[in-house]
Chain A
């Protein structure tokens, strides 16, 4: 039975709460009637208000609280309805959570999971749409996970919760309604493994989160034109599965790194840099990257039309790398709903 990404998150949380009494789950609206887009719906009824609870709009304090609870034996999961709200807690995340193990000589770690939801389109605008995985991945001590499929949403969330380090778990709002098969039970996936989603020898495409969905459209479209690409869904940004990326580049000789974040200082740039510096000899052409431009996302739908990297841009880039003309008009024509929504199911307001 196909399950939505949002339901898979809820399934993962319920599984963790059932598996271990030390798991607690909180955040603004966790126990409200909408349950964070359904991802925490009614968990408080099943597991009680001591373990699943709402919180004040005190992101910094509640992050430090999670750290303290974790140091004293718990496995807290803190949820933010937008990544942007979590920015208030950066000091706690960076100076305490990330460094605790290191600065006290390995005495204790901080097994917390911080869920952050990334918004996009439909007027989410400059403060509700930031895709800042590179910020977190930059910090030694933090792990950063970005699932794409419903299955990974559950298995990686369980992996994150039972990981002994602080994990930033980034969910893209445009994935919440995507459906897929999700395994039952306590299915923990260790962090740090990428997945090869499509195999081919033309170009290695590295993607993450919702960017993988756009890449899939592009790769399948290209396949019909006789261009077979490797598509790697990173799933974990830190640790990053370098062996999988390197093996693929050694096969294809071409790298296209995608990023839902901004170009400058982004994850795609890191991948290009690593491959170019350490595996230059494997490359048949200059590595390329596609990312969000170095400007905030505007609110007006007129200003987001060309903002995000979409399947046609990816297909185009692959064509350029191969020196071949590729057809993308039919790809664009398939899109039957406005550019600023993930599907017909979304009509706002949040």
Chain B
């Protein structure tokens, strides 16, 4: 991997981490009034995907999409403003944290119903294939999504039509507080299950950003080359509570030992340490990155806070293409 990409991965991961931690720190102010799902601990897959995809590639995601949106190039200011419910938000305050969009960088939308965007991502890819555009469609999904019928229906059709789709699964072991053990039989590997549909599937460590990037780069090239859809599963871990800013290990649905073990495998710190050891970045570089990120975040929150709320009449717009309906 070239040093440029390594630095980009580190920068993007530090940025995602800092954004999420700032949201967590400021959530209690009650100005961000919407359910918010943070991905602290899961930064590697998003950052690697962002680096492996082109801005012209399209992506969709689910309820936990901040990292995907940012990694794909989504505007931070518009995202924070959206969480604040401001008119300057990426969805003009209509959507909130769970409904992010930035079409200028190919982030076509994230929605809050599990599995809901999977067939949409497959649909996005159809014109790409028909028109030979060279783009691919990336569907971000969690480990609960391969429990939905629509996931399998969508994968099947993508295989039938050999569509350029990257199904990208972040397996963090939990669906809200339900472990995989109550949702899938013992020993099941999602990537093996999905392989039965006749597409190439892969599996890896979702906390090793460079390994994820290497795997995805190869996959993205293959999909772009017309080899049909692929499914990638990466194992990772959510540190904070399912929804909201706190930690929830006190609930007892997962062990503190498990959490501590994953925390030791902090994907951001791991990459940072490795890049410093390999002399790809210096401590000073990291400090510079962090300073740049902090300044951007401060500016984004200030922007969100000082932005106006949408005018009341906006509550009634955007239902149909034209005012009549």
Contacts and interface: CB of A to CB of B under 8 A. Distances in A.
Is B one of A's binding partners?
yes
Question: Chain A binding site: helix, strand, loop or mixed by DSSP?
Answer: loop
A327 to B, nearest CB: 23
Contacts of A192: none
B97 A306 contact: no
B245 to A, nearest CB: 7
Interface string A47-90: 00000011111111100000000000000000000001101100
Contacts of B273: none
B112 A127 contact: yes
Contact of B148 (A58, A126, A296): A58
B324 interface: no
Nearest to A298: B94
B147 A302 contact: no
A300 B175 contact: no
Interface stretch (B1-9, B27-35, B41-49): B27-35
A305 B316 CA distance: 12
Contacts of B321: none
A58 B184 CA distance: 11
Contacts, number: 150
Contact of B93 (A88, A303, A307, A348): A303
Contacts of B144: 56-57
B111 interface: yes
Interface in A117-141: 122-128
A299 B145 contact: no
Contacts of A28: 175-176, 178
Contacts of A55: 182-183
A85 B310 CA distance: 28
Given A57-B115, A127-B113, A293-B316, A299 B94 contact: yes
Contacts of A60: 149
B310 to A, nearest CB: 5
A28 B147 CA distance: 12
B173 interface: no
Count chain A CB atoms within 10 A of each CB in B33, B111, B112, B314 and give the residue with the most. Answer: B33
A125 B309 CA distance: 15
Contacts of A299: 34, 85, 91, 93-99
Contact of B35 (A32, A126, A128, A296): A128
B253 to A, nearest CB: 5
Interface in A335-350: 340, 347-350
A178 B129 CA distance: 55
Interface string A1-15: 000000000000000
A307 B316 CA distance: 9
Interface of A: 28-29, 32-34, 53-61, 84-85, 87-88, 122-128, 293-296, 298-307, 340, 347-350
23 contacts: A28-B178, A33-B251, A54-B183, A55-B183, A56-B183, A57-B114, A58-B147, A59-B148, A123-B34, A125-B95, A295-B316, A298-B94, A298-B315, A299-B85, A299-B98, A300-B86, A300-B89, A301-B33, A302-B312, A303-B312, A303-B314, A303-B315, A347-B30
Interface of B: 27, 30, 33-36, 85-86, 89, 91, 93-99, 111-115, 144-145, 147-150, 175-178, 182-184, 243-245, 251-253, 309-310, 312, 314-316, 319, 325
Given A32-B177, A55-B183, A303-B93, 9 more contacts: A29-B177, A58-B147, A88-B148, A123-B97, A295-B319, A304-B315, A306-B312, A349-B27, A349-B244
